[in-house]
Structure 1
Amino acid sequence: MTTRDDEMWVSVIRLHARVEHDLAAALQRHGLGLSEYRALCHLSTTENGELRMQELAELLGLNQSSVTRLVARLEKAGLTRRDLCADDRRGVYTVITDEGRARKAGASDTYEQTLTATLDRTAGELGLEAALEELRRSVDMAN
């Protein structure tokens, strides 16, 4: 027998999966994967446009080898570059380039529109409209 909480959690997981799928498909039109886009977002909001590789891994929820491969793809595309830490030569930063900022900016509207449309449509299909509205209210209050 499933509980109410279990049914709710399965619905949340289905919502998450649908949103991630739609976002990934939309970002492909901009030549970006979802993790690549999110990495560019994190980098673009830092003061110097750079993060230590370990910091980026933590922000993205990736392990070290996955973030290394991700950054290699971004570098190959000219969207980031690596830089050594001046204080600790073992530390490696990834730095967003002007091209990376432009690609991120060009994909942002697509990301936002797809996110909102998919959340609205899928939450309705799964009966999660009230939960979505409550989440939106809590984010508005926090800001």
Structure 2
Amino acid sequence: MEVKAIEDKMFKLADRLRELKEAKKQAERQVKDINTEIDNTDYALSELMAESETQNFTRSGTMFFLTTTTRASALSEKKTELYEVLKEKGFGDLVYETVNANSLSAFVKEQTSENEDLLPDWLEGLVKVFEKTSVGVRKTAK
């Protein structure tokens, strides 16, 4: 293959790579915008459903239902202390380099339910606990 042909092919591939990378950046921006819009719409719909005391409804073959999950995360300034306390209390298997957010949420929910629905004293000030209500979506059976 002559030098000119190699150069032409190389430039075409370089241009295509640049186009693809730009398209990827654009798609990532669009996904971020869509995720923001999903969060906003989910929040508005869950608020309206809660206000109207609507637990679920079906529209166009899709069931929409309120669901509440308990989430817990370590307070950033108290992570090290939390990890030490978890280990001392025999729950060191939750601790890696970080505590998995879903595992911590499930653990805090379990500990709270075993403590008359109160956060155990030894976790006070180490974790932030909140409930998030959102709308689950699934196809309905025909």
Relative to its length, the structure with more helix (as a share) is 1
More strand by share: 2
Larger Rg, first or second structure (1 or 2): 2
Q: TM-score, normalised by structure 1?
A: 0.31
Q: Which has the higher contact order (CA 8 A, sep 6+)?
A: 2
TM-score w.r.t. the length of structure 2 is 0.31
